[in-house]
Structure 1
Amino acid sequence: MKKALLLSASSYKDTGYLNHSKGWIKDFLGQNWEEEILFIPFAGVRRTHDEYEKKVQECLNNTNIKSIHKYKDMKEAVKNAKTIAVGGGNTFMLLHDLYKYDLVDAIREAVENGAKYFGWSAGANIAGSTMMTTNDMPIIMPKSFDSFNLFPHQINPHFISGKISGHNGESREERLEEFLIVNQQSTIYALPEGTALLINGNEVELIGHSDALKFEYKKDIATVKLGEKFKI
């Protein structure tokens, strides 16, 4: 049964890196917390893979986290993993490298076969049907925008409603509306920082510190209440 924890962001307000979600992650993993966690660092453009691995180990206080770049056979590492963690950063870079190493199908199959998955920011975005509702700049072109589809809808992490004072560009709501005009069959779940989707089979629960929003073409924006459960 598919199990995933999709975190909007690595941080919430001024709580520090992954601190707000450490308890959620430990509860989600259960006994897997004590075993090796396969970490995907590819989104971290401004830090090396070794630096990213060390940062996550230290912030989660868990030395069982091991980056996939240390394995000679990455696909075999995915196949054998009990837990897969995907860090945030640039979503285009992340998906580019996942396709480069032919890991997209491998990770999807691993999770469908029982591996637990958790990711934050870009790592949550690519758990959706495509990466097309990321907030990132396209610094590199991945083979495809199609992603893991563990959650069969679009995810917009780091969601902020409205416009910043003095900013004349589109609001996030307007950008998501543009996406839906072109992709009318899609549904978008917009996750404010401090929230996460907890997936258990075909049931999803919104956890965290605030409500989320659901966007559909030519429909009023719906609120997903904190603690609400729905089917996928």
Structure 2
Amino acid sequence: MLILLSNSRDPQGRYLHHCRDVLAELLKGVKRVTFVPYASVVAPWDDYMAKLRDALAPIGVGVDGVHRAEYAAQAIRDAEAIAVGGGNTFHLLQHLQESGALDALRERALAGVPYFGWSAGAVIAGPTIRTTNDMPIVEPPNGLGALGLVPFQINAHFTDLHPRGFQGETRRERLAEFLVANPTLAVVGLPEGDWLRVDGDAVTLEGPHEAVLFRDGEPAAALPSGVRVDRVLAGTVATTPSVPRPRGLLARLRGA
């Protein structure tokens, strides 16, 4: 099973607190998680690992860092469960490719090893990382192909916020550009607080918010919490159009 989280913190800033029950279910019977911290650029990887260790301590799960292993790919192959942290998606993919761990990660996840990732760690579960929000601070040597664990792209931290007077593109406009260039791919815009539960072929949206499905030549579709995204993609579940809904302080200031 996979748990693909848009973000790591709840609105109060508590680390992985909003998904603790889900992770406890995913990791039932697991003693130790192998953590991939490669997305972190500024914070030391040991510090990142310690943060995850503190977050998982209440559910009785320990953490080992793949960066401490002599061979990253073997550490992944030996893992009871795998966690992939957020940060810069390009940096994450570069290190997965250069360490030889990318293929091992795909193999283990497809074999059913519990996997959870947030932000970049969720984006990388798609066919490519081309719908990340991150700046391409490095160039992965083998291109932008990712794990392909789900048949659609993921845009984490999806938001409709657009500050008054800001002249850049909205998130929806950027994803529309992606679809013009990549018309065969779908994109799920995953707002903060939500996650995707992947169990075999079943992909279910969970969390408090509505997500958005983008496909070329079609209106953006609203994905309510609890919907089977795989059935929406297959055309067996009807959808309604998604209306931009700014949230948070800027939305209140604008009277939305």
> Could you tell me the TM-score, scaled by structure 1's length?
0.95
C-alpha distance after superposition, 1:13-52 (max 9, x if no partner): 22422111122111122212xx110000000111111111
State the partner residue of 2:54. Answer: 58
Deviations 1:66-119 (A, max 9, x none): 110111122111111121100000001000000010111110001112211100
For 2:165 and 2:214, locate their aligned partners in 1 and report how far apart those are by CA, in whole Å. 26
Alignment of 1:142-181 (within 5 A): 142-143=140-141, 144-181=143-180
- State which of 135, 138, 143 in structure 1 corresponds to 2:136: 138
- Are the aligned partners of 1:19 and 1:60 in contact in 2 as well (CA < 8 Å)? no
RCO comparison, higher one (Cα < 8 Å, 6+): 1
SS in 1 for 2:27: helix
- Is 1:112 aligned to 2:110, yes or no? yes
Using the alignment, how far apart are the partners of 1:121 and 1:210 within structure 2?
Answer: 16
Contact 2:40 2:87 in 1 (8 A): yes
Question: Which secondary structure does the structure 2 equivalent of 1:158 belong to?
Answer: strand
- The one-letter amino acid of 2:133's match is N
Give the Cα–Cα distance (whole angstroms) in 2 for the partners of residues 63 and 226 of structure 1.
28
CA distance in 2, matches of 1:188, 1:210: 17
5+ long unaligned stretches in structure 1? none
Structure 1 runs (4+) deviating above 3 angstroms are none
Aligned to 1:41: 37
Aligned length, in residue pairs: 228
Task: Calculate the aligned-residue CA RMSD, in Å.
Answer: 1.3
The counterpart of 2:100, out of the listed 88, 99, 102, is 102
> For each residue in 1:140-170, what CA deviation from the matched residue of structure 2 results, as whole angstroms up to 9, or x when unmatched?
0012100001111100000001412221100
**How high is the sequence identity, in percent, across the aligned residues?**
38
State how far apart, in whole Å, the 2-side matches of 1:10 and 1:24 are.
13
List gaps (5 residues or longer) in structure 2: 234-256
